[in-house]
Structure 1
Amino acid sequence: MSTPKIVFVTGNANKLREVTMILGGDSSPFTLVNEPLDLEEVQGADLEQIALAKLQQAVSALGVGKPVFVEDTALCFDEFNGLPGAYIKWFVKSMGLEKIVKMLDNFQNKGAYAITTIAYADSKGQFHIFQGKTHGTIVSSNGPTDFGWDSIFQPDEGHNNETYALMAKEDKNKISQRGRAFAQLKEYLYNTGA
């Protein structure tokens, strides 16, 4: 009997590796497959709405009845009432990490939080939302810069003042917003059989 397949819509190889690890890797009761669909990014501040819009596009492209999920991650600065939020990907692309950090130079509050929202469509076509959140601080880039903004986010729960970029993947996955959101999805999948 073959294991059920669940589609993760992402073109990001780092995310795929991280999520595969969180969901149980080779010991998982399902197989995670990647589908790098080019989904339209809905603009807005409501993270659930953004994730659901992406999921609706994915279901439309792949067909109802195929288990599929999308995820959207935001980095929110306390001083800016949650901005850049869902726009962080575009800030990183257009400004770079150093300029993002400089945005907070004139402010004492460097607090931030990261949120990952997962929208999942099960084999019956029903939609489910899972969300994880981690608080931290924006710091000067420290560590590899090959995974988004990981090198400028220092989680409050980390050790030795490490940014996400400096943490071992297993340690990061235990406290990261993505790890928390996917732990909820994993619990749901393992309890319902995908």
Structure 2
Amino acid sequence: MLHYVTTNAGKVREAREYLDQVTPLDYDYQEIQSETLAPIAAYGARAAFEHVGEPVIVDDAGLFIDALDGFPGPYSAFVEETLGVEQVGQIARAQQTDSDRASASFRCVIAYCDGESFGATPEPVDRGRRGQDLAADERATATTDDTVDSGTVPVKLFEGTVLGRIVEPRGEGGFGYDPIFEHNGTTFAEMTAEEKNAISHRGRALAKFGDWFAKR
């Protein structure tokens, strides 16, 4: 059984589009502080594996705004709670130039741990599975696959990214930064759940992990 460390039912539904058997695991591990997502997800995966003793995946995600040097990045949840989404959007738009147009990206890293070592890196994702995103910039599918060891239990990482820009809030759906993040002319909050999942950063990471996991 593969355990997904989350209490978010929406994440589990999205994961089941790519994985045959996955069950949510309610496990509250202590997150480390890092300027990048990968170490946070890797630490969580190791902690969860030690807790449950079975294969686990942990994800960490964030909004990275180019004009703000990647802020809020790994601190996105904390910044949302303290500063607020609209304030972040105002700051980003105030810093934009004609060249960057408040460019930003949503990124997600999925970390997998089962206590064993890993072989070759995964094959590239079949982009045909992301049918609603055929026009996406090639950078949006760039991934950082790695086996993190550091003398402890190995962790395999899968990254997904979707490019966009920061705009005035629009839309009633989604959550978090969705109203201010526009991709191909539409904010995440203006999309249906199916439309958003078809191009989401988490979906990209899950697709790549799913392809690799099916071969284990």
TM-score, reference length from structure 2: 0.75
Partners of 1:144 and 1:71 lie apart in 2 by 25
Matched residue, 1:110: 102
Matched, 1:166 2:190: yes
Matched residue, 1:181: 205
Partners of 1:7 and 1:114 lie apart in 2 by 24
Partners of 1:47 and 1:144 lie apart in 2 by 28
Matched residue, 1:119: 111
Q: Secondary structure of 1:191's match? A: coil
- Residue 52 of structure 1, CA deviation: 0.7
> 1:166-193, CA deviations, whole angstroms, 9 ceiling, x for partnerless residues?
223333223221111111011012222x
Change (3 A) 1:17 1:167: same
Partners of 1:189 and 1:162 lie apart in 2 by 32
Partners of 1:46 and 1:105 lie apart in 2 by 23
CA contact 2:160–2:203 (8 Å) conserved in 1: yes
> 1:117-152, CA deviations, whole angstroms, 9 ceiling, x for partnerless residues?
000013636421100111101112222355222222
Bigger Cα displacement from structure 2, 66-75 vs 36-45? 36-45
CA contact 2:174–2:193 (8 Å) conserved in 1: no
- Residue 164 of structure 1, CA deviation: 1.3
Matched, 1:99 2:87: yes
Which among 41, 51, 56 is matched to residue 51 of structure 1? 41
1:130 corresponds to which letter in structure 2?
Answer: F
Which segments of 5 or more consecutive residues in structure 2 lack a partner in the other structure? 117-152
Matched, 1:81 2:69: yes
Partners of 1:70 and 1:143 lie apart in 2 by 29
Partners of 1:144 and 1:171 lie apart in 2 by 14
Matched, 1:18 2:42: no
CA contact 2:62–2:75 (8 Å) conserved in 1: yes
Partners of 1:97 and 1:132 lie apart in 2 by 22
Change (3 A) 1:16 1:120: same
Partners of 1:175 and 1:145 lie apart in 2 by 16
Matched residue, 1:8: 4
The total of aligned residue pairs comes to 176
Which among 141, 163, 184 is matched to residue 135 of structure 1? 163
CA contact 1:119–1:129 (8 Å) conserved in 2: yes
2:165 corresponds to which letter in structure 1?
Answer: T
CA contact 1:18–1:169 (8 Å) conserved in 2: no
Two-structure CA RMSD over aligned residues (Å): 1.8
- Residue 57 of structure 1, CA deviation: 1.3
Partners of 2:82 and 2:173 lie apart in 1 by 15
Bigger Cα displacement from structure 2, 69-78 vs 108-117? 108-117
Which segments of 5 or more consecutive residues in structure 1 lack a partner in the other structure? none
> 1:79-108, CA deviations, whole angstroms, 9 ceiling, x for partnerless residues?
011111010111111222211111124222
Partners of 2:197 and 2:158 lie apart in 1 by 16
